[in-house]
Amino acid sequence: MIPDLLTPTGTADEALLDLELSDPPAAEPLRQHSWTPPRDPFAEERPVPLPGSSGEHLLQCAYGTEERARRFYDEQVLDHLNESMKEFIGRMELAFVATSDSRGECDSSLRTGPPGFIEVLGDRHLAYPEYRGNGVLASLGNISENPHVGILLVDFVTDLIGLHVNGRARIVEDADLRGVYPELPAEPDRGRTPQRWVVVQVEEAYVHCRKHIPRMVPVSRQRSWGTDDARRKGGDYFAAKGTARPWHVAEPAASRR
């Protein structure tokens, strides 16, 4: 039985929906070695810089959205987590994590766990666990080159609202973090135990309005594979195995004897 749909209880009002800005036009990726940041048009207006990048400030001027953007910065963007944000993080079961390497090439990844799998360590720090995966370590590799990280948490079920958390990340081994925060959960999640954690120092935290967030209904997370077919299990769902790729070098025939 699918449970009855829940009524949203979020606190975002209609005025917030008007604060969403148009996406900037697509641009060629910027290479770190040849890129000079643009001059921020608002840099001299205030003793404390506004949130956001020079690029978004320039586009606000170009597209005439300075007033809406300034209202959003002043009313919704914090440099820390308030109590409502901490409570929200404590009941989330998934997060989308965005990172990029030193050249600005990006990766977006999904992290999941039981409610509260993201640990709030205070007003300005949170941590999420890293478990054994496919061994690629794309997100951690990016963080090792470029510590900036963007996290999006979304409540698709009840409040239909989201929270952005942007900050600086560092990789901490599980034993080291437990030495500082012994209250970290000790019970494994579905047999998984963290190998290490990503600790994020919060620089920006702000709402993601509900305007385009779809409603979803949770179902049981218990799954019976019932097959040994790797593709049906999801391991090769997109039929990529065996496809030629430029970085793959065929094994010499002599070594296969």
Confidence of residue 1 (pLDDT cuts 50, 70, 90): very low
Residues of the chain with pLDDT > 90: what percent? 57
Lowest-confidence region among 4-8, 182-186, 229-233: 4-8
Banded pLDDT at 238 (limits 50, 70, 90): confident
In the prediction, which pLDDT does 202 show?
98
User: What pLDDT digit, counting tens, does each position of 113-128 carry?
Assistant: 999 899 999 999 999 9
Please list the alpha-helical segments (H only) found in 79-164: 83-90, 138-145
Q: 218 pLDDT band (50/70/90 cuts)?
A: confident
According to the model, what pLDDT value does residue 228 have? 58
68-to-61, 99, 166, 191, 207 alpha-carbon distances in Å? 11, 27, 21, 47, 15
Helices 54-63, 66-76: axis angle to 10 degrees equals 130
CB neighbours of residue 153 within 10 Å: 21
pLDDT of 4 strictly over 70: no
**Mean pLDDT along residues 91-108:** 96
Q: What does the pLDDT read at residue 124?
A: 97
Q: What is the pLDDT of residue 157?
A: 94
CA-nearest of 164, 77, 154 to 126 is: 164
Q: Which residue has better confidence, 46 or 227?
A: 46
Give the angle 4-154-20 at the CA atoms, nearest 5°: 115
Q: Give the confidence band of 234 by pLDDT, cuts at 50, 70, 90.
A: low
- Could you give the CA distance from residue 78 to residue 34 in angstroms, rounded to a whole number? 32
**In whole angstroms, what is the distance from residue 88 CA to residue 163 CA?**
8
Strands (E) in 45-177, as ranges, are: 94-100, 106-112, 119-120, 125-130, 148-155, 161-173
Return the higher-pLDDT residue of 47 and 215. Answer: 215
Encode pLDDT of 139-187 as tens digits.
999 999 999 999 999 999 999 999 999 999 999 999 999 999 999 988 7
Residue of higher predicted confidence among 41 and 165: 165
Domains and CATH numbers, the chain: 14-76 (no CATH), 83-212 (2.30.110.10)
- Residue 249: is its pLDDT beyond 70? yes
State the pLDDT at residue 215: 93
